[in-house]
Amino acid sequence: MKIPSAKEKDFVLKQYFNRDVKGVAPPKEEDCPQNIREIEAILSDDGYIVSNNGYLVISTKGRAFLCKGGYTAIRNKERLKYGLSYLSGVISGIVPWLLTQCSN
């Protein structure tokens, strides 16, 4: 099976939020990711959804996580950190070269 994307995990977590907090009916099964059970297991392991009287509901930790941007925000922060470290490496290589060119 493929690893669920951040977007898919956020989608499922938002469905729990919409159902439990806003009272919105969940989407049709065909509109959900095919690996929804696997995603639910990940969300449960992370503590974002919990079992309550035999039903899975969003936890307060899950609500706070979703308000901060969810898995997509974490992925974007990691990409930004990687991009900035790459950029600093490139700049640290170019600056000494420019200094040597200017001193000639």
Whole-prediction pTM: 0.76
CATH of the domain at 14: 1.10.10
pLDDT digits (tens, 9 = 90+) for 72-103: 999 999 999 989 998 998 888 888 888 888 87
Q: Enter the tokens of residue 60.
A: 């307060």
In a domain, 97, yes or no: yes
Q: What is the pLDDT of residues 32-62, one digit of tens each?
A: 888 889 999 999 999 999 999 888 999 999 9
Q: 32 lies in a domain?
A: yes
Q: Does residue 80 sit within a domain?
A: yes
Residue 16 lies in a domain: yes
Is 91 among the domain residues?
yes
Residue 1 falls within a domain, yes or no? no
Looking at the predicted structure, is the pLDDT value of residue 22 above 70? Answer: yes
Can you say whether residue 69 is alpha, beta or left, with left for phi > 0 and alpha for psi between -120 and 50 degrees?
A: left
Indicate whether 41 belongs to any domain: yes
Which residues form the domain of 62? 6-103
Q: Which helix (H) or strand (E) holds 55?
A: strand 55-58
Number of domains in the chain: 1
- Residue 64 included in any domain: yes
